[in-house]
Chain A
Amino acid sequence: MTQVLIDDNREPSPGEPLYALKGVTRSFTKGGVTVNALRGIDLEIARGETVSLEGPSGSGKTTLLQLLGALDTPTSGQIRFAGRSLEDESDSVLTDIRSREIGFVFQQFNLIPTLSAAENVAIAMVPRESSHVKRMARASDLLGQVGLAHRLGHLPSRLSGGEQQRVAIARALANSPEVIIADEPTGNLDSTNAGEFLALLDDLQQQFGVTIIIATHDEDVASHTGRRVRIRDGSIASDTTTAL
């Protein structure tokens, strides 16, 4: 596996979990009907952990993932991330946290179809780096690390599913995040590409201690993680740690 370049100069606070969720609920109202997606979640995730969130459709795992990714705020309860409370933060603060601390990998890859592989990685650096040249240079390095040095100028439509997912990983790493959140990352990959993706995650975690949180239906993916959190009806049904 290729060496991944990540700036890992953070000084994690000893003993403080990266995430600390306490009594978190999230409800949505649609058509006058209130749906309680999450019902009192208590969860702590330490730095460097690889955690899978499992559960059937509608169990609330994607909602939990959105709260962990600072994409949404809870209806009630507390979420502390890297020592900061997220539940009352404004959109601009959450946006800033996302740009600095969190990388996302989506099931559909969500690459911008009009941009090349390198530009898709560089676009994530726009809020933090004003120099286009520097952005493109780092994007090239990152794509090289995920084995796509020869595909820098290709549009997503010219890349395979596995290659697109690698580009998405490179994009997630662009701002040297504290955590990578992946939503069904292998949902659109064949078994070979899924295996390569998991190997890549292992590499990231082992080399740089990046926290990885994966929402998945895939037993293979879940079993690949050190901690498996099962969600059912908006609550944590089980939280098990396995030795890999």
Chain B
Amino acid sequence: MFSLSYAWNELRRRLGRTVVTAIGLAAGVGLVMGIIGVSQGLSDAQNKALSPLNSVGTDIIVTRTVAPTLSTATTTTTTPSNGFGGGGGGGGGFFAGRGGSSLNSSDDAALAAANSSVITDLAKLGPAGTKFTHDFFVPGTLITFPSQAVSTVANVKGVKSAVGALSLDALHESGTVPKITASIKTGGQTISASVKPPVLSAAEQAAERTCIQGLITRQLGSTTTTIPGSGSSGSPGGGGFGGGGGGFRFRTGASSAFAKCLSPAQKAYEQNVTIPEQTVNEVLNPPTTNTSTSTYTVAGVNTSDTTSGLVTKAQLVKGAWLSSTPSVAKSQVLVTTAYASQKGLKVGDTLTINKVNYKIVGLVNPTLTGDVSDVYFSISNLQSLSTNAGRINEVLVSVANAKDVNAVAKAIKKALPGATVLTSASLADQVTGSLSNARKLANDLGGALALVVLLAAFLIAGLLTLSSVSKRVREIGSLRAIGWSRGRVVRQIMAETLGIGVVGGVIGIAVGSVICLVIGAVGPGLSVTSTGLAVGASKVSGLLGQTTSATVARTVHLTAPIHPLTIVIAFAGALLGGLIAGAAGGWRAARLSPASALRDLG
């Protein structure tokens, strides 16, 4: 085959040539590693920024949104059809009324109830001077819907799993109950009415009879008519109108005249209504209050599913996950690292919300531009806190086959009229900025650049090897003379350059690692600009463009991660370079005839 000791001695004893050629390969391999690392870093950053859904085990988010104007019937994201569940709602989808982007009556009621809770009744906060805090949870424009939607989505073909989530805005009020208040008592009045006419006295009866008689007389002229039950010798009481045979009709208009004959007791009709008495303390001079408000965002996650949801266990950076036991989870919350940093919170601290203490059991680091909230409760807990029992406002869907995301999204829209369905692809379309540009650049030029650099390294190694072989004409000629075949000489040279490739690969990986580390340490920031992408006080409502004017800009630090595959590629590249250089040198050596080589000896 070839002589290993010969190859080893060539590498060892021609150290200068070995090192120079190896460094040539190493430079190429190191640069390629850097390029691959940057490309991978851009890809990772883009995935992080552009595909937040994937990082929470989600391919699709389903929400219920309402277009901002009444002309929503033309909204294209919905498919007008009969919403399932029937009901006589006001035209919305999701289990009531007709499909569409407008609300059905139950949604209307839920939305109104949720938002109407944002009233601070100072009277219930204690006497003047009492310090108070109060937290409200409102869905904003990301309205809630019955959690049955989860099972509906789960039944759509192609859906691997579906999990419900509740994402709400929270309003935190704190202050002192103001001194200037007035208690206003209202109600207490009683309105009564009787429906049973009183019994008429004999005189009243007689008066009525006389009056009516007179009316009849005036209407009939000389005709004498006897009022039934009013015989001349009849006694008072009894009788009444109607009955009897024969009779007459009053002319039109006579009824009002007839009413005049009624006794006063019969003309009155009374009903009694008692208004409950209540007292409301009202701030008489609002500017004197010191109530301050702040906002944060909260979300509910399914504690039994740690792999999909608005935040997943994989994103837990410190502490523990919410307990799967509801009674324990009821007093636990997770907090994002950003919010914890902002508020000086740590694991084990207590958050007091509406006089209830919640222990911070863990810190999470959700995706950059995804549906990030500040505080995470168990979903049942948040539903209870926010008076949204049985209601959610997001369904996070995992699709069985990534190729089917769009088809599944369409099927979900069909199954849930009125749904807004967001996929990673539709989210990515909203993103611009230098990250997006850099990624495009890396896609377009990165591969070509890496190839050019690698080819340059191969060329350098090949030329150096050619030069080396040219200086070894005497040696190679001698080998041929003493019985080494062309093939053996070529293999020997290739073994040597392969050895150089190994050395170059090792050095190159070291160089590439340093390049990647330096890029990671001092790499530039890349901006991400997205329309409607939610960060900070983020919500899916932002993701879905409901806050239509929201343009969010973030800076993503460029890193150049080193993946095992990159190292393998780098090493393989160095070996390939060595083989190519060896082939070049071997080709040169093989062309030497032993006689020519000896002639060159002079």
Contact = CB atoms under 8 A, between A and B. Distances in A.
B483 A99 contact: yes
A107 interface: yes
B595 A110 contact: no
A113 B478 CA distance: 12
Interface in A127-171: 127-128, 132, 155, 171
Interface stretch (B192-200, B447-455, B484-492): B484-492
Contact of A115 (B4, B6, B481): B6
Given A113-B13, A114-B9, A115-B6, 5 more contacts: A72-B593, A104-B482, A108-B474, A114-B13, A126-B6
A99 B483 CA distance: 4
B601 A91 contact: no
Contacts of B160: none
A71 interface: yes
A119 interface: yes
A237 interface: no
B483 A175 contact: yes
Nearest to A175: B483
Nearest to A112: B475
The 8 closest A-B pairs by CB, nearest first: A99-B483, A114-B13, A72-B595, A110-B478, A71-B595, A71-B594, A124-B482, A98-B483
A6 interface: no
24 contacts: A66-B598, A69-B481, A72-B593, A72-B594, A91-B486, A92-B485, A95-B486, A99-B482, A99-B483, A104-B482, A106-B598, A106-B601, A108-B601, A108-B602, A110-B477, A110-B478, A112-B479, A113-B13, A114-B6, A115-B9, A126-B6, A126-B488, A127-B485, A171-B482
A50 to B, nearest CB: 21
Nearest to B480: A95
A230 B13 CA distance: 43
Nearest to A65: B598
A115 B488 CA distance: 17
Interface residues of A, number: 35
A114 B10 contact: yes
Nearest to A181: B481
Interface in B558-602: 593-595, 598-599, 601-602
A214 B594 CA distance: 18
Contacts of B481: 69, 71, 98, 104, 110
A80 interface: no
Contacts of A127: 483-485, 488
A93 to B, nearest CB: 10
B157 interface: no
Contact of B483 (A100, A107, A115): A100
B3 interface: yes
Nearest to B481: A104
Contact of A119 (B5, B486, B595, B599): B5
B475 A110 contact: yes
Contacts of B601: 106-108, 110
Interface residues of B, number: 30
A96 to B, nearest CB: 7
Contacts of A174: 482
B483 A119 contact: no
Contacts of B3: 123, 126, 132
A124 B477 CA distance: 13
B483 A95 contact: yes
A96 B9 contact: no
A100 B484 CA distance: 11
A110 B485 contact: no
Nearest to B13: A114
A110 B474 contact: yes
A98 B482 contact: yes
A65 to B, nearest CB: 9
Given A72-B593, A108-B601, A126-B488, A119 B482 contact: no
Contact of A66 (B6, B13, B595): B595
B14 A114 contact: yes
Given A114-B9, A114-B10, A132-B5, A123 B479 contact: yes
Interface string B452-484: 000000000000000000000011011111111
Nearest to B485: A95
Contacts of B2: 126
Nearest to B597: A71
B565 to A, nearest CB: 37
Given A115-B6, A115-B9, A126-B3, A71 B598 contact: yes
B17 to A, nearest CB: 10
A92 B488 CA distance: 11
Max count, chain A CB within 10 A of own CB: residue among B474, B477, B595: B595
Contacts of B477: 110
A213 B145 CA distance: 106
A217 to B, nearest CB: 14
Contacts of A95: 480, 483-486
Nearest to A67: B595
Nearest to B492: A126
Contacts of B475: 110, 112-113
Contacts of A107: 601
Contacts of A72: 593-595
Contacts of A110: 474-475, 477-478, 481, 601
Nearest to B483: A99
B590 to A, nearest CB: 10
A96 B487 CA distance: 13
Nearest to A73: B595
A172 B483 CA distance: 11
A155 B13 CA distance: 10
Given A69-B481, A108-B474, A114-B14, A119 B598 contact: no
A103 B482 CA distance: 7
B9 A119 contact: yes
Given A72-B595, A112-B478, A123 B483 contact: no
B475 to A, nearest CB: 5
Contacts of B593: 71-72, 91
B71 to A, nearest CB: 87
Interface in B1-48: 2-6, 9-10, 12-14
A25 to B, nearest CB: 15
